[in-house]
Structure 1
Amino acid sequence: MASANLNIMIKAARKAGRSLVKDFREVENLQVSVKGAGDFVSRADREAERIIKEELRNARPNYGWLGEETGEEPGEDPTRRWIVDPLDGTTNFLHGLPHWAVSIALEHKREIVAAVIFDAAKDEMFVAEKGSGAYMNDQRLRVSGRSKLAESVFATGIPFAGRGPLPASLQDLARLMPLAAGVRNLGAAALDLAYVSAGRHDGYWERSNNPWDVAAGILLVREAGGFVEGIRDGDDPLESGRQIAANPQVFAAFAKVIRNRD
């Protein structure tokens, strides 16, 4: 039975998702224009955040807010905060690739307690609450049971356009790829973590995320039985921007490879 807060989050994600799907259908037509779809997608992103913010604020006006587009706003209740990415996978959306999501997390006393990641293009709703498990469209999720790197598929985000620690990421790939069954760069951190929770990916790491990229996904993985840590020992995986996540069987071997230089 979902809590009142989780139901509010699901409703907001669905409403924003409907708006984004409508806009996504227009993107293909815009690809051929000289100016391109960039400005249009930026507006779609901002509108999705407006919808989510309106829904959440109407229901819980005293909670704080951290959103990708509108930044941080303290609430009357200093212990609770929404953490929102209205469109994770913007570049995919811009190019007409149907792999993007709405991500909403609720933080209570600096701990993520509820999470929603909605892949509107595929109608997959990933949800989790602390202590209650993780689900996708009402199906209970469990991380994969693979225990060998050679059988495992990992996901990551590779820095682009001069953003983020590209040399370190390339070194990670050089160490991991000879040992693993594959590495995927699908362009949406929220969905990478959701896929770990669903056993589609065996692990995930990245060195340059924002809190709104990963807040919901961290809880999903943990509630599905997986581990999430900072890449450097002792780092907070949300605040540091550097995460490593995997099923319990492969985590130690995977972490050893990725932490080689840290």
Structure 2
Amino acid sequence: MDVSPSENIIGGKSFTAVAVNCASKAGEWIKSKIGSITQLDTKYSMQDLVTEVDKGAERMIRNLIATHFPNHSFLGEEGVEPGPEASAKALEEMGDAEYLWIVDPVDGTTNYVHGFPFYSVSIALAYRGQVIVGVVYDPSRDELFVAERGKGAYVHGRKMSVSSEKTLSQSLIATGFPADPIVALPANLKNMQALAPKVRNLRVAGSAALHLAYVAAGRLSGFWEHNLSAWDIAAGALLVEEAGGRMSDMENGPYRLAVRNVAATNGWIHEELIQELQAAVNT
């Protein structure tokens, strides 16, 4: 359902303004901690990292949201046990929430740890299971990507539109290396091997939320990845949709919060990308 402007405010407090404030403050704090990490741990796999900065940023965002909307539910990456089963279960347990904030405090922790400037804060708000606000903030570039359902998507206050490439051969596509080394990583590698000769080029930069924001901004033609969680995708999905793009699962079914294998495009190349992804996995 579409959400009217009046429904996007409770008690005079704008959901979007709170999301932007949380992302900005957390992002500034995260950036200030670069180079001073004292605790680095692995979670689900050796590629799945967490630091005290991830945990601190999530606490900050949770507390700020609770100040404005104490009755809203909250789903953050660092409050959930590692692994795909745990993240899927945590989302399912929140299924009855009227308002659910979905947060990844540092999407791209490995980049952050290594000083590679491609990481982000991702904050989404879902109303009865549908995302109505999405904010992705890139502290390194001070770029704030914002979308409200039915109102478009913006970066630096300017309206975004997806790219105009009509075929895969013209397209710059992004993906990631999933943390699951048993199922998701081999599947994604098969997709990469199949697609690499058929696209203009591939990019793997390490933040799904930022990749989705780049699709919305027209900087990428598309993105896919296996085994992502709601906090990786929710905000970016709304950015893509509101910028005129298309989101789906890898079988071309509709995007919803529980989708873990995701494809996002400018719309023009969506069918072709889905066909290639399915063909690669089935070979």
Give the TM-score of the pair, scaled to structure 2. 0.83
* Equivalent position SS for 1:208: coil
Greater CA deviation, 188-197 or 162-171?
A: 162-171
Aligned residue pairs, count = 253
* Structure 1 residue 44 corresponds to structure 2 residue 46: no
Structure 1 pair 177–209 and aligned structure 2 pair: CA distance change class (3 A): same
Question: Could you tell me how far apart the structure 2 residues matched to 1:233 and 1:41 are?
Answer: 32
- Asked if the contact 1:175–1:257 (Cα under 8 Å) also holds between the matched residues in 2, the reply is yes
Structure 1 residue aligned with 2:26: 16
* Equivalent position SS for 2:51: helix
CA-CA distance at 1:235 after TM superposition: 6.0
Residue in structure 2 matching 1:109, options 122, 128, 138:
128
- Asked if the contact 2:102–2:231 (Cα under 8 Å) also holds between the matched residues in 1, the reply is yes
Structure 2 residue aligned with 1:130: 149
* Structure 1 residue 170 corresponds to structure 2 residue 180: no
* CA deviation map 1:95-151 (0-9, x unaligned): 011110000000001000001000011100000000000000101100000112111
Structure 1 pair 68–41 and aligned structure 2 pair: CA distance change class (3 A): closer
Letter of the 1:18 partner, please give it: E
CA-CA distance at 1:166 after TM superposition: 2.2
CA-CA distance at 1:64 after TM superposition: 0.6
Structure 1 residue aligned with 2:84: none
Structure 2 residue aligned with 1:33: none
Question: Could you tell me how far apart the structure 1 residues matched to 2:273 and 2:166 are?
Answer: 10
Structure 1 residue aligned with 2:85: none
Q: Which 4+ residue blocks in structure 1 deviate beyond 4 angstroms?
A: 72-75
Question: Could you tell me how far apart the structure 1 residues matched to 2:165 and 2:36 are?
Answer: 40
Residue in structure 2 matching 1:202, options 205, 221, 235:
221
Identical-pair percentage: 37
Aligned positions of 1:1-262 closer than 5 A: 4-26=14-36, 38=40, 42-71=51-80, 78-160=97-179, 162=181, 164-234=183-253, 236-260=255-279, 261=281
Gaps of 5+ in 2: 42-48, 81-89
* Equivalent position SS for 1:65: strand
CA-CA distance at 1:171 after TM superposition: 1.5
Greater CA deviation, 169-178 or 119-128?
A: 169-178
CA-CA distance at 1:161 after TM superposition: 7.0
* Equivalent position SS for 1:176: helix
Structure 1 residue aligned with 2:46: none
Question: Could you tell me how far apart the structure 2 residues matched to 1:221 and 1:163 are?
Answer: 29
Question: Could you tell me how far apart the structure 2 residues matched to 1:163 and 1:187 are?
Answer: 19
CA-CA distance at 1:255 after TM superposition: 1.4
Q: Say what the alpha-carbon RMSD is for the aligned residues.
A: 2.2
- Asked if the contact 1:237–1:243 (Cα under 8 Å) also holds between the matched residues in 2, the reply is no
* Equivalent position SS for 1:97: coil
Question: Could you tell me how far apart the structure 1 residues matched to 2:153 and 2:67 are?
Answer: 26
CA-CA distance at 1:237 after TM superposition: 4.7
Letter of the 1:213 partner, please give it: D
* CA deviation map 1:186-208 (0-9, x unaligned): 00000000000001110000111
CA-CA distance at 1:167 after TM superposition: 2.2
Question: Could you tell me how far apart the structure 2 residues matched to 1:164 and 1:38 are?
Answer: 25
Question: Could you tell me how far apart the structure 2 residues matched to 1:164 and 1:211 are?
Answer: 19
Letter of the 1:38 partner, please give it: L
